[in-house]
Structure 1
Amino acid sequence: MILAAIDIGSNAARLLINEASVYTDGSVDFTKLNLLRIPLRLGFDVFDKGAISEEKRRKLLNTIKTYKLLMEIYGVQGLKACATSAMRDAVNGQEVLEEIKRETGVTINIITGQEEANIIYETHIAENLNAEKSYMYIDVGGGSTEITLFSNNKVVFKESFNIGTIRLLHDKVTEEQWEHMKWFIKTNVKDYQPIEAIGSGGNINKIFSISKRKEGKPLPLELLKDYYKELSYNTVEERKHIYHLRSDRADVIVPALHIYTSVMRWADAEEIYVPKIGLADGLVKMLYKEMTT
Structure 2
Amino acid sequence: MKVRKFAAIDIGSNAIRLLTHNVIEDKGKKTQFRKSALVRVPVRLGEDSFTVGEISEVNEKRLIKTMKAFKHLMEVVGVEKYRACATSAMREANNGNEIIEKIAQESGIQIDLIDGKQEAAIIASTDLKNLITDDQSFLYIDVGGGSTEFTLFSQGKIQVSKSFKLGTVRLLNNMVKPETWNKLEDWIKLILKDKPKLSIIGSGGNINKLHKLSGRKEGEPLSYIWLNAQYQFLDSLSYHDRISELGLNPDRADVIIPATKIFLSAAKWSGAKKIHVPKIGLSDGIIKDLYNSENK
* TM tier, smaller: over 0.9
For the pair 1:260 / 2:235, whether they are aligned, the reply is no
Match of residue 188 from structure 2: 185
- CA deviation after TM superposition for structure 1 residue 76, in Å: 0.7
1:72 matched residue in structure 2: 75
Distance in structure 1 (CA, Å) of the matches to 2:79 and 2:127: 24
Distance apart, 1:104 and its partner CA? 1.0
- Equivalent of residue 39 in structure 1, options 38, 42, 51: 42
How far, CA to CA, are the matches of 2:140 and 2:112 in structure 1?
23
CA distance in 1, matches of 2:236, 2:255: 14
In structure 2, which of residues 1, 5, 11 is the aligned counterpart of residue 2 of structure 1? 5
- The answer to whether the 8 A contact 2:88-2:146 is kept is yes
Are residues 1:281 and 2:291 paired? no
For 1:164, which of 163, 167, 186 is the aligned residue?
A: 167
Distance in 2 between the 1:143 and 1:275 partners? 22
Q: Identity percentage over the alignment?
A: 46
**8 Å CA contact 1:195, 1:268 repeated in 2:** yes
* TM-score, structure 2 normalization: 0.97
Q: Partners of 2:171 and 2:76 in 1: how far apart? A: 39
2:253 aligns with 250
Deviation, structure 1 residue 136: 1.2
| Runs of 4+ residues deviating >4 angstroms | none
Specify the code of the residue in structure 2 equivalent to 1:155. Answer: I
Is contact 1:126–1:135 with CA below 8 Å preserved after alignment? no
Q: Which amino acid aligns with 1:256?
A: A
Match of 2:96 among 93, 97, 111: 93
Residue 120 of structure 1 contacts residue 282 of structure 1 at CA under 8 Å; is this kept in 2? yes
Matched, 1:22 2:52: no
Equivalent AA in structure 2 for residue 41 of structure 1? R
State the secondary structure of the residue aligned to 2:67: helix
Deviation of residue 26 (structure 1)?
A: 4.5
Aligned residue pairs total 293
TM-score of the aligned structures, taking structure 1 as reference length: 0.98
Distance in 2 (CA, whole Å) between partners of 1:129 and 1:121 is: 11
Task: Mark the runs of 5 or more structure 2 residues left unpaired by the alignment.
Answer: none
Q: Following the alignment from structure 1 to structure 2, what is the Cα–Cα distance between the partners of residues 55 and 146?
A: 29
Distance 1:14 1:195 in 2: 31
**Aligned counterparts of 1:119 and 1:193: Cα–Cα separation in 2:** 27
- Measured in 1, the distance between the counterparts of 2:94 and 2:35 equals 35
* Matched residue SS, 1:58: helix
* Contact 1:167-1:173 within 8 A present in 2 as well: yes
| CA distance in structure 2 between the partners assigned to 1:275 and 1:281 by the alignment | 11
Q: Which amino acid aligns with 2:284?
A: D
Show the counterpart of 1:209: 212
Instruction: Find the counterpart in structure 2 of residue 11 from structure 1.
Output: 14
